[in-house]
Each structure stands twice: as C-alpha cells, then as structure tokens.
A and B are shown apart, each in its own frame.
Chain A
Amino acid sequence: MPAAVVPDLNTSLPTQHTLIPFLQSQSQNTLTRLYQKPSSCLAIFRLLAPLERQLVMNLLWLESAIPVATMAAWVARDGKKLYDAAVVNLGNLHILPSSMVKLALNSTFKTSFRHAITGGGTSGSFGVPVEKDDKRPALDLGALDSYALERWETILHYMVSSGSGQYPSKPSQGVLYLLQRSGLMANIHGALQITSFGFQFLLNSPHEQLWNLLLQYLHMAEERQMDLVEVLSFLFMLSTMELGREYSTEHLSETQKAMLEDLRDYGLIWQRKPNSRRFNPTRLATTLTSSSPPLPTSTTTSSGPAEGFIILETNYRLYAYTDNPLQTAVLNLFVTLKYRFPNLVVGTITRDSVKKALQSGISSDQIISYLSTHAHPQMRKNNPLLPVTVQDQIRLWELEKNRLKSQEGYLYTAFASQADYELVLNYAKQLNTVLWENTAKRCFFGSLDGHANIRGFIERRTGATG
C-alpha cells in the first residue's frame, strides 16, 4: 500500500508542511516581524516536524545559550540525520540562528512563544472576541460548517465541471482570478478550463487543497503589495481562534480588513454583512494548523460519511455511497459511471477511463491514493485495502503511456572521417550526453544540454586544422 507506508524514522526524513519552504524563502526581517505575534509562533510551531518541535521546546525555557555538542548528545546515534536536518530547517526559518558554538532560540520568537504558552502579554494576537449580540445571533456550528462546506465545494465543483461545459454556480471574481493565477485553471478560448494541475489538485486531501490555494494567495499578496507579515499573521490568528466565537474586526489592520473579503469567498470566515464589524472563523480556518480534515462531515449534502464512501471490487467495479455532486464529479474523472441512485453511484474503472485521467495529468498514484483515502469503512477490513489486481492494472495503464519517451537533442552527422567521428563521439561520451550512436552511419544523437559544448569542440577542431 504505497499510500499507507509510514516512512521509517531512521532512514527517511519527514516531509515538510507546504508552507515551510515559503516561510524559509522570506527574509529574516519579515520572519522576525512575524514572530512578534504569539499566535504566529504557535501556528508555525505546529507546522514543524516532531523533532523540530521538541528541539524548540527544549530550548524555549533556557535563559542562556547551550553548547552545540551538549544538545547533539541528547540525540541517539540513529536520529543524528534527523536531528541535523531539524537544526538546518530551524536555522532557515531563523527560529534557531545557526551557530557552530552555541544554540539559542531567536529572542523574538522565544519571547512571543513563551507568551503563547503561558498566556499574557498585550499583543492581542489571538483575536479580539466580541460579546454575543442578542439581536443578531451568530450562526451555530452546524450552519457555520455547512456554510464553509458550501463555499469550498462551490470552488471545487466549478473546477471539476469546467471541462464538461456545464457551469454550476460560479465562485466570485477573486476566486476565479486566484484559480487562474495559480495555474489550476487556464483561460482557453475565453472560458476558464481546468488544467492538469487542477486535476491533480482535486484528488488531494482538502487540507492540502486549502494550503495550496492559500500559498498561491500569499504569492499573489506579495504582488499586490500587501504586507506579507500582516497577511500571514492574520491567517495564523485565524488558525488559533475558537470555532463558534465571534471576533471583532476593529483591531485589524487595513490589509487584514481587505483580506476579509477574500477569505469570505474561500469560506474561511463568515460575516453577516460585508461591512459587518464582526466575523466568525469557520472550521476551515480553525483547523489550518492541524492535520484533521478541515471539512466537517457533510450531513446536509451526502448521506454516507464524508470520508469513506468508496467500495472497490476486484472486478474493477466501484460503488460510491454518495449523493454529493462534487464527489461524483471527481470520480467521473477516472471512472466510467454506469448508474446513479439516490445515495449510490456505480461505475467501473476501465482502461479508457483511466487513460482519460492520465491524459489530463492525473497520475496513477493519485488515483490510488484517492481511492484508499476515501475507502468505505467496510473496505478497511481488507488487507491490502484496495484489490491488488486493480492497483497493479492502474499502474500498468500508466506505464503503457510511458512506452515512448521523447527527448530533445541534436543529430550529429556527415563527419568527414571515421577518426573525426570517433574523436567527437568520445568527447560527447565524456560529457555523458550521447543518447544514441551508430558507427556504421557515422552519426550520433546528443542531448540538448550538451550541444553547446560539442559544437564548440567541433569548431575548435575545425579552426585548429583549417
């Protein structure tokens, strides 16, 4: 089960959160400003890998720096690689300034994170809650969840159905722009069409989808001259807010107020009116830094449990207990659907349907991981989860696609003599650029990147002799 393999602690380094590389690319100045907010520190801390978190915690309550060797002694020999990677990672985030002698946390980070853990301070970074207004009651949790779900599914549904020519309800302009900007959809013949990135995106977990979009939003914010620190700290603030509580907009900066509209479109927050002075974070926002599914189990739109509705049989037949149009549409990407019932969709995985998916840029691993993450609880009793035949066949179909590999390059031919040919060929072989050679015909094919060198070599040769 490729999707369920837990990488061995000792051999493979744990993968990072999507946001970490983005943060690492920021300047130290930006990050230090970000670390002034306790809520940002807490949120970033949660995105770190387990060992990194432990390392931060070890150093958090120390007043003085400790020697590098002392800290390294705390790691067992097996974990050395992991530990070194953790130190480098934290160094890149400027949480743990890299030093050869002593280790100590960035003082701004340390102060703010201590405030976050112990409470106190005056930063107000966890959002200013407002008293309940009896005249205009806030939404209850259920309504909030279904609001978030509806917003999010609108976006996804719009994406998935864009190829089919039928357009359900359209998300707002801001969302459309973001989708286009992020390369998930492209403007083809005046209409937005989903790209192969978009197809891959659809099969990701909701949590990844959300972060991918937000990451694009952050890139866009940079271009729109928005203050990145404000944008990030607002997102992090949202992630530490309490679900079902109303917060005041009055203490937000101008940038953050401008963000309210965008976030409303994505379903991260709810506001009674666009100019309302209070807002509610939805579950999408409050679970940003967790790995639990951000989307609530949809009780209104589908009958079965939202996660786990697919039953796959060895005969390639697939039963999906759902009436959710989005899930059906996603399945339609790689399944030939046969029947639809009020709560059940039946289809088969065929060569054609999988080929169609592969053509639109979806990989076999994505299909398999989608099937296994959404497998029905009944399927979970099987080991392996998905029938091996089906998995293998999906992979084989992908391999079929890869029978031919194209590579750009140059054909070198019409050498004057065998000696010339061999000289150039040997040179090209040293550069490791030869893709194909035929001595009898005195020609060979070299890859694109070696061309400049080979050409220069030949020119030098002809220049020297001629």
Chain B
Amino acid sequence: MSSARPAQAVATDKPSHLSVIVDLSPSQWHLSSQPPPANTFPLTLNSFLSQLLAFLNSHIASKHENTLAVFGAFPGKSLMLYASTESETINPSAVDANSYPPFKMLDSTIIKRIENELDQLDTEEGIPVALVGALTKALCYINRISHFSAANVSKAKLPDSLTISDPHILILSVSPDLSAEYIPIMNSIFSAQKLRVTIDVCKIYGTETVFLQQAAHLTGGSYISLERRDALLQYLTMAFLSPPSIRKALSVPTQDKIDFRAACFCHKKIIDIGFVCSVCLSIFCQPVPVCSTCRTKFPIKILQRLNASRPPPTPLRNGLSRTTSMSGTGGLPHSGSIRTSSSNGTLR
C-alpha cells in the first residue's frame, strides 16, 4: 500500500482561483462581428461567449476545488455574473444526464445574466464600459475570499481547507483605453500587487491598451493581443488556463514591448512627456503654478525655466532632464518621440 504519496501531490497541486472580467461593450462587439472587409477574422459575441464558456468550464474541470468568478463590464455598469462560492438560487431544474451539473449551472447563469443586462441597456451611445468597476469588484472579491479562508471559519459554506492560492484575474478587453480611468486603474494595479494577484490581459478586439499592458506587466501576468481571432479558445487555453504556479515550467507568451506612458491628471490625456509635482508625484501635461492635487505652490522662476525648456513639437527632447518623462527608462521601446507631435499638439 503506497503511503502518503497522494498527500504530496496535493501539496504541489493546489486549487487556484480565477476571476474573469469580460468587456461587454455592445458597440465594440458590433464592430468586431463585421464581416471580412472590416475584420480579417470576424468574431461575434455569440461565438465569443461559447468559447469563453468552454474556457471557464475547463478551469472548473481542472480541479474540483478551483474557484471561479466572472464579472461583466457593461456600458456604465459592472456586475458579478457568476461566482462559484455563492450558492445559486437559480436552480436549473432540468439537470440532465449528459452534462456535469456545475458546468450546466455556470453556463446557464452567465448567459441568463448577460441577456438580462443587454436587454436593459439604454441605447444611448458613448457611455464607456465600466472596466475599472469590474476590476475593482474582482479585487474586492478575491480579497474577501482569501480573508475568508484565512480566518478558517468552519461554519461557512466554504470548506475550511480551501486556501486561495495563486489568484489570477483575466481581463478580456475589446474597448480602447479610457484615459480618464488612468488613476483608478493604477490604484487597482497597486492593490493587485499587494494582494499578489496576477492580472492577465487578452486583447480580443481594438487597439492596444496602454494601461492594461502596464497592469499585466506590473503584476507578472501576460498580455496577449489576438492575431487569429478564430482561435480564441486555443489562445485562452494555452496562455491563461494554467495557474501561475505551473507557468514557471511553461513558456507562456509575455509582451515584448510595453507602453509605459501615463495619463496626465489635468486633462486625462496619455502623454509622452509630463511634469511631475515634486511633492505628491501628480503628473501634468504642462507646467502648473499650483499642484491641483496637493496645492503646493511652485516658484514662478521654475515655471519659467520649465516652460522655456519644453520641447518644441519636433525633436530636441533629449535635453530635458528635469521635465521628467514618466515613460522612464523601462519604456525605451516606445520612447515616443514620434508620437510627441500628436499629443503635444493637443496640449497647446
């Protein structure tokens, strides 16, 4: 009789938690589903959801104790779509013999809630999706369940052996960056770092988002921009299914270049060169006499000097050592001198 062997296997094979944030912006999904002239690989919301559900099921399938939470980012609203630790009130009475009950529950709950939300949506255009709201909810949720298990409450619904290890968040994004959300996103990234949560990002449609790239980079996750959108499920499985603990053994794709640019606090624009308050580190796109965050007053002389040293729209940007570029040394790949013209043009 083999003794004590499975116990060790369990030690290396801990349950993991996955929170998925789904960007459900109707307008972006509409664009994404346009046939070939617009997109090489059109992807409709329906086919996306069916692939997503297969991915979510795979996560649950991997281990009995794996936990899952799904958050939807709708225009102007974020919502928890599913959480495996919440006991479900929607009981699908038609449990059939051909599907694993938890999968069935997961699929029906998510689809039902998304349908409900999309039906209720206002048709009003231009409301950005509440991605940050969803991200914050995901972090709060992870924080809650990890405290829960740490407290070792045996009366609770969770089995008390359940310890949240390797929590990771996967953001499936289709919307472009919202520069107004710079500060809340950065704050979420910092809390994710503190909670040791890995943030993975899969950019399914649309332009690269600077902030999500940074989120993935700073938390040790991976950022993938889909090239072949018809192979979504394969991408998701190979890159994001494995818990961070076994990623050490795999070559999971990581970004080769990261855009480190920040957004200024005054106009919420993504900038290449900014001015930083020496007291509170707020970022501005132009020299300001009074910091709007901490109310520090700067001497007029410094302002003049900074203004004088501001780069003209064309190069000569190497001389500005004092006007701190937030892109820092790490941002070299995208040092941004090419893009300076566009953003500086808007600053004036």
A119 at the interface (CB under 8 A from B): yes
Taken together as a complex, chains A and B put the C-alpha atoms of A129 and B101 apart, in Å, by: 11
Taken together as a complex, chains A and B put the C-alpha atoms of A307 and B154 apart, in Å, by: 10
Q: How large is the interface on A (under 10, 10 to 19, 20 to 34, 35 or more residues)?
A: 35 or more
Chain A interface (Cβ < 8 Å from any Cβ of B): 3-7, 9-10, 14-18, 38-39, 42, 45-46, 49-51, 53-54, 57-58, 60-62, 73-76, 78-79, 82-83, 115-129, 182-183, 197, 200-201, 204-205, 207-208, 211-212, 240-242, 245, 251, 287, 289-293, 297, 305, 307, 363, 365-366, 369, 373, 377
Contacts of A124 in B (CB 8 A): 97-98
Contacts of A251 in B (CB 8 A): 97
- Min Cβ gap B258→A in Å is 21
In the complex, the chain A residue whose C-beta lies closest to that of B8 is: A15
- Residue in B161, B237, B243, B246 whose beta carbon sits within 8 Å of that of A60 in the complex: B237
Contacts of B15 in A (CB 8 A): 291
Contacts of B154 in A (CB 8 A): 297, 305
Taken together as a complex, chains A and B put the C-alpha atoms of A24 and B160 apart, in Å, by: 33
* Extra contacts besides A182-B1, A297-B154 (13): CB < 8 Å: A14-B9, A15-B6, A50-B245, A58-B237, A117-B58, A117-B61, A124-B97, A126-B96, A126-B97, A208-B6, A289-B64, A291-B64, A293-B161
- When the two chains form their complex, are residues B246 and A50 in contact, meaning their CB atoms are under 8 A apart? yes
In the complex, the chain A residue whose C-beta lies closest to that of B242 is: A54
- When the two chains form their complex, are residues A122 and B249 in contact, meaning their CB atoms are under 8 A apart? no
In the complex, the chain A residue whose C-beta lies closest to that of B241 is: A57
Contacts of A116 in B (CB 8 A): 61, 99-100, 103
In the complex, the chain B residue whose C-beta lies closest to that of A291 is: B10
Q: Sorted from nearest, which 9 A-B pairs have the closest CB atoms?
A: A79-B249, A290-B64, A119-B99, A124-B97, A291-B10, A242-B101, A128-B97, A15-B9, A15-B5
- When the two chains form their complex, are residues B13 and A126 in contact, meaning their CB atoms are under 8 A apart? no
- When the two chains form their complex, are residues A208 and B7 in contact, meaning their CB atoms are under 8 A apart? yes
- When the two chains form their complex, are residues B250 and A122 in contact, meaning their CB atoms are under 8 A apart? no
- When the two chains form their complex, are residues A6 and B250 in contact, meaning their CB atoms are under 8 A apart? no
- Residue in A74, A240, A289 whose beta carbon sits within 8 Å of that of B238 in the complex: A74
How does the 8 Å CB contact mask read for B92-108 relative to A, with 1 for contact and 0 for none?
00011111111110010
- Min Cβ gap A170→B in Å is 23
- When the two chains form their complex, are residues B250 and A79 in contact, meaning their CB atoms are under 8 A apart? yes
Given A54-B241, A76-B251, A123-B98: A290 in contact with B65 (beta carbons within 8 A): yes
In the complex, the chain B residue whose C-beta lies closest to that of A80 is: B249
In the complex, the chain A residue whose C-beta lies closest to that of B15 is: A291
In the complex, the chain B residue whose C-beta lies closest to that of A6 is: B11
Contacts of B246 in A (CB 8 A): 9, 50-51, 54
How does the 8 Å CB contact mask read for B69-109 relative to A, with 1 for contact and 0 for none?
00000000000000000000000000111111111100100
- When the two chains form their complex, are residues B100 and A240 in contact, meaning their CB atoms are under 8 A apart? yes
User: Which of B97, B162, B237, B246 has the largest count of A CB atoms less than 10 A from its CB?
Assistant: B97
Contacts of A46 in B (CB 8 A): 61-64
- When the two chains form their complex, are residues B64 and A57 in contact, meaning their CB atoms are under 8 A apart? no
Contacts of A9 in B (CB 8 A): 12, 245-246, 248-249
- When the two chains form their complex, are residues B7 and A119 in contact, meaning their CB atoms are under 8 A apart? no
- When the two chains form their complex, are residues A117 and B238 in contact, meaning their CB atoms are under 8 A apart? no
Contacts of A39 in B (CB 8 A): 100
Given A16-B5, A45-B61, A290-B64: A50 in contact with B97 (beta carbons within 8 A): no
- When the two chains form their complex, are residues B248 and A78 in contact, meaning their CB atoms are under 8 A apart? yes
- When the two chains form their complex, are residues A121 and B61 in contact, meaning their CB atoms are under 8 A apart? no
- When the two chains form their complex, are residues B249 and A83 in contact, meaning their CB atoms are under 8 A apart? yes
Contacts of A51 in B (CB 8 A): 246, 249
Chain B interface (Cβ < 8 Å from any Cβ of A): 1-13, 15, 53-54, 57-58, 61-65, 95-104, 107, 152, 154, 159-162, 233-234, 237-238, 241-243, 245-246, 248-251
- When the two chains form their complex, are residues B4 and A245 in contact, meaning their CB atoms are under 8 A apart? no
22 contacts between A and B (CB under 8 A): A3-B7, A10-B248, A16-B5, A16-B9, A42-B100, A46-B62, A50-B243, A58-B238, A74-B238, A79-B249, A83-B249, A121-B98, A126-B99, A126-B101, A182-B1, A197-B1, A200-B1, A240-B100, A291-B13, A297-B154, A297-B160, A307-B161
In the complex, the chain B residue whose C-beta lies closest to that of A305 is: B154
- Min Cβ gap A264→B in Å is 21
- When the two chains form their complex, are residues B6 and A74 in contact, meaning their CB atoms are under 8 A apart? no
Taken together as a complex, chains A and B put the C-alpha atoms of A83 and B97 apart, in Å, by: 35
- When the two chains form their complex, are residues B54 and A117 in contact, meaning their CB atoms are under 8 A apart? yes
- When the two chains form their complex, are residues B104 and A119 in contact, meaning their CB atoms are under 8 A apart? yes
Contacts of A297 in B (CB 8 A): 154, 160
In the complex, the chain A residue whose C-beta lies closest to that of B103 is: A119
Contacts of A365 in B (CB 8 A): 4
- When the two chains form their complex, are residues A50 and B161 in contact, meaning their CB atoms are under 8 A apart? no
- Min Cβ gap A116→B in Å is 6
In the complex, the chain B residue whose C-beta lies closest to that of A287 is: B64
User: Which of B8, B9, B95, B107 has the largest count of A CB atoms less than 10 A from its CB?
Assistant: B9
- Min Cβ gap B10→A in Å is 4
Taken together as a complex, chains A and B put the C-alpha atoms of A293 and B100 apart, in Å, by: 21
Taken together as a complex, chains A and B put the C-alpha atoms of A171 and B182 apart, in Å, by: 66
- Residue in B4, B63, B95, B159 whose beta carbon sits within 8 Å of that of A293 in the complex: B159
Taken together as a complex, chains A and B put the C-alpha atoms of A78 and B250 apart, in Å, by: 8
In the complex, the chain B residue whose C-beta lies closest to that of A120 is: B98
- Min Cβ gap B55→A in Å is 9
Contacts of B102 in A (CB 8 A): 242
Contacts of B241 in A (CB 8 A): 54, 57
In the complex, the chain B residue whose C-beta lies closest to that of A248 is: B97
